[in-house]
Amino acid sequence: MCPRHKRLHPLGKGCPLCGGAPRRHKSKNTRRPGQYDYQWQKVRAEAIRLQPYCSFCGTGNDLTGDHIIPLKDGGTSTLDNVRVLCRSCNTRRENDYRKGLRY
């Protein structure tokens, strides 16, 4: 669908009205190669095994691993840079991080 004209066009072809190329947007959640690889999966599983509860709220449900210092800021995927958070605390922390509130 052409976002400008709101009309469908043949799959894989540009818009016939504006002659634009088909748009292909990358997902915001696209993994960079090597970012969350097998090593990260092992470190995350080990952190959850050592601490089976959320560091913020204490729940034991839906646990994830969280980089204390994000990879984009030079953090590493090692056990000393990982903390265990439940999914809701991890999401809240990410939103606060994007707003500039770091903890």
Write the CA distances from 92 to 67, 96, 102, integer angstroms: 14, 6, 11
**Average pLDDT of the chain to the nearest whole number:** 76
- pLDDT value, residue 46: 94
Determine whether 89 is exposed, middle or buried from the number of CB atoms within 10 Å of its CB (0-12, 13-18, 19+).
buried
List, in sequence order, every residue forming a beta bridge with 66; answer none if it has no partner.
83
- pLDDT value, residue 68: 87
Predicted confidence band of residue 34 (pLDDT cuts 50, 70, 90): low
Coil, strand or helix at 83: strand
Residue 35: how many CA atoms within 13 Å on its side-chain side?
11
pLDDT tens digit sequence for 44-91: 999 999 999 999 999 999 999 988 888 888 888 899 999 999 998 888
- pLDDT value, residue 85: 92
Residue type present at position 100: G
Domain 38-99 is in which class?
mainly alpha
pLDDT tens digit sequence for 17-31: 666 655 555 555 555
Domain extents in the chain: 38-99
The C-alpha angle 95, 52, 87, rounded to 5 degrees, equals: 25
